[in-house]
Amino acid sequence: MIAPQLDSADFRALVGHLEATIVALALAIVVWRVALAVVDRVFARRFISTHLPRVATFSTLSKSVVGLLVLVAGALALLNVWSVDVVPAVWSAGFITAALAFGSQNLVRDIVTGFFFLFEDQYDVGDRVELVTSGGQMVAGRVDAMGLRTTRIIDRQGRFVVVANGNIALVTNASRLPTTAGFALTVPWKGDALAMRQTVEAHARAIAADAGLADAQIRVSLVETTADNATFRIEMRTSDAEADLDRSDMRERIAAMLQREGWLPGGAEAG
């Protein structure tokens, strides 16, 4: 009685289903592990030179999405192996997903927009930014935290401002490039060119120190000479995104210093 049962078509079908299930599970595990390795490799290559603080969050999110896709695909494959009609389940899942998406459009929009903000590297934690919302309001400050749904800003008054990513229409990042200012200054000859350049540079550094930019890079060069005058080019460069380098103000302050030293009319010599 046992031998016929072992040779029956139902038993062979059961064994076939079990073998297919094992293969499907093994394949799903392999695909999942390979996908995780690919995600790690992609993020290592993409962010190795910048060490962005959001890499761990974004990598974890990507791994979760990959794991969910593999799980769904594996479940559908197993249902198909056991001859379960998955079409009604797929249609039901589609309707449920559409209903949820329709009921939470703003949430979905925030998450999708946040995903692209993270992926496109538009700004990072610590950057000084100006965000213009879809309603026309502007939020300026330093990025304190960023996620898929919201971005948190510390504004110039020290307040925490949370902006939904889906409401951000324009991003201005002032931290990606150094702040620079440059201008030319023409003065009469007062001694040798080297001593004059050093004097102008000392005044420029004093102005930078008064503005709280003691670490600014200052370069002074002699760009033009005549029989009576020398023209110097003053360039100031700082990585402080909050620095307000007003060229006119800097030129005026250096000119006032040179007037006090008698280099320009209206200063010590005129009094």
- Look at residue 189 in the predicted model and tell me its pLDDT: 92
Instruction: Report how far residue 125's alpha carbon sits from residue 109's, in angstroms, rounded to the nearest whole number.
Output: 21
Mutual angle of helices 193-210 and 247-260, in 10-degree steps = 120
- Look at residue 270 in the predicted model and tell me its pLDDT: 37
Q: Is the pLDDT of residue 271 over 50?
A: no
237-248 average pLDDT score: 62
- Residue identified by tokens 């946040």 is 114
Q: How does residue 49 score in pLDDT terms, banded at 50, 70 and 90?
A: very low
212-222 average pLDDT score: 80
82-111 average pLDDT score: 74
List beta partners, residue 129: 141, 173
The chain-wide mean pLDDT, for the chain, equals 79
Q: Which amino acid is at 103?
A: G
CB atoms within 10 A of CB 160: 11
Instruction: Go through 178-213 and write b for each residue having 16 or more CB atoms within 10 A of its CB, e for each that does not.
Output: ebebeeebebeeeeeeeebbebbbebbbebbeebeb
Tokens read off for 84: 């379960």
From 16-25, 118-127, 167-176, 221-230, the region with the lowest mean pLDDT: 118-127
Q: Is 137 exposed, middle or buried (0-12, 13-18, 19+ CB in 10 A)?
A: exposed
Q: Report pLDDT digits (tens) over 108-124.
A: 788 888 878 877 778 88
H or E segment at 117? helix 105-120
**If you write DSSP's letter for every residue of 77-102 in order, what string do you get?**
HHHHHTT---HHHHHHHHHHHHHHHH
Does residue 227 sit in helix, strand or coil?
A: coil
Among the listed residues 62, 40, 44, the one whose alpha carbon sits nearest the alpha carbon of residue 52: 44
List beta partners, residue 180: 237
CB atoms within 10 A of CB 111: 16
Q: How does residue 246 score in pLDDT terms, banded at 50, 70 and 90?
A: low
pTM: 0.45
- Look at residue 38 in the predicted model and tell me its pLDDT: 86
Q: Is the pLDDT of residue 13 over 60?
A: yes
